[in-house]
Structure 1
Amino acid sequence: MRALIILVLLCFASTAYADLADELADLVGYVIVDSKTIKGWYDDDESEEGAFKGCKHGRVIVFSDNKVLTCAEYGYQYAYRPNAVILAKEITYQGKSFYDFKMVVGDEIYDMRR
């Protein structure tokens, strides 16, 4: 019985690591540029201080230093004043350079823009 429990736990653990590896593989070339606390957000019709309720297109995420990033995708997540890791990758297209941003909150990765 004990061996069966250990086997089941190892199967779940290896699945979690495989998922993490898949997620991180998409971030090759990105650099961690900052780590900040999310203090709130606002969008067209509502806003909130303290709580993070994920992203929707156009939602502005406000950090504790009053800098902002704007969500470029949808994803629900709830956390109170969570820490966010900001990643950036320089991209050159037709002779012009710009940065692509990602924001990691908990175990979720969001596409962001300035």
Structure 2
Amino acid sequence: MKIRLLFFVLLTSATSAFADLTNQLGRLVGYTIIASKTISGYQDKNGKGADSFEGCDYDRVIIFDDDKILTCEAYGYQYSYRPTAIILSNGPSFKMIVGNDIYDMRRK
């Protein structure tokens, strides 16, 4: 009985994780992966910056190792030191995936 209960709990949690993944990936239909880059830091409009990633804030400039940049179009908090970012584009708009979060971005 305990094994069946454990199996049910694992199956239920895996199913909800896949449902969340499907919802997130559904937002990316039509986008193509164009780059995988390491985030080296950020700069806010007021001049504040850091050599880590602290998520996105409106108009925050994200700086990559190759000195290319993207600008955040929305807010989302996440902390990580030099994480890998996957950059996607559908032509005019960009998305950036860091860890489990998807951020709306634009070119400066």
Structure 1: any 5+ residue segments left out of the alignment? Answer: 91-98
Correspondence 1:57 to 2:58:
yes
After superposition, give the CA deviation of every residue in 1:83-109 in whole Å (9 maximum; x if it has no partner): 00000002xxxxxxxx10000000100
After superposing on structure 2, the runs of 4+ consecutive aligned residues of structure 1 that deviate more than 6 Å are none
Q: Which amino acid aligns with 1:47?
A: G
TM-score relative to the length of structure 1: 0.90
Greater share of strand: 1
1:47 to 29, 46, 49: 49
Aligned to 2:31: 30
Aligned residues: CA RMSD: 0.7
- The separation in 1 between residues aligned to 2:7 and 2:66, in whole angstroms, is 45
TM-score, reference length from structure 2: 0.95
The one-letter code matched in structure 2 to 1:65 is D
> Residues of 2 paired with 1:7 and 1:47: CA distance?
47
Q: Distance in 1 between matches of 2:77 and 2:57?
A: 8
5+ residue gaps in structure 2?
Answer: none
User: Which amino acid is the alignment partner of residue 13 of structure 1?
Assistant: A
In the TM superposition, what whole-angstrom CA distance separates every residue of 1:2-61 from its partner, at most 9, and x where no partner exists? 211111111010100011011111111000000000000010231001x10000000000
